[in-house]
Amino acid sequence: MPEGPSLVILKEQSARFVGQDIVRAGGNVRAVDPGRLVGQRIVGLHTWGKHFLIETPELILRIHFLLFGTYRIDERRDKEPRLSIETKDGGEMNFYACAVREIDRATFEAYDFSADVMSDSWDPKQARKKLRAQPELLACDALLDQDIFSGVGNIIKNEVLFRIRVHPLSTMGALPAPKLRALIDEARQYSFDFLGWKKAFVLKQNWLAHAKKICPRCDIPFKKANLGNTQRRAFYCERCQKLYA
- Sign of torsion, CA 131 136 140 141? negative
Domains by residue range for the chain, with CATH:
4-110 (3.20.190.10), 114-236 (1.10.8.50)
Residue 64 pLDDT > 80, yes or no?
A: yes
| pLDDT band, residue 68 (cuts 50/70/90) | confident
The answer to whether 144 touches 230, Cβ cutoff 8 Å, is yes
Taking CA 212 as the corner, what is the angle to CA 128 and CA 182, rounded to the nearest 5 degrees? Answer: 20
pLDDT for 167:
98
| pLDDT band, residue 116 (cuts 50/70/90) | very high
| pLDDT band, residue 72 (cuts 50/70/90) | very high
User: 3-state class of 129 per DSSP?
Assistant: helix
| pLDDT band, residue 4 (cuts 50/70/90) | confident
| pLDDT band, residue 67 (cuts 50/70/90) | confident
pLDDT for 1:
62
The answer to whether 34 touches 183, Cβ cutoff 8 Å, is no
Q: Which helix (H) or strand (E) holds 220?
A: none
CA 245 to chain CA mean position, Å = 28
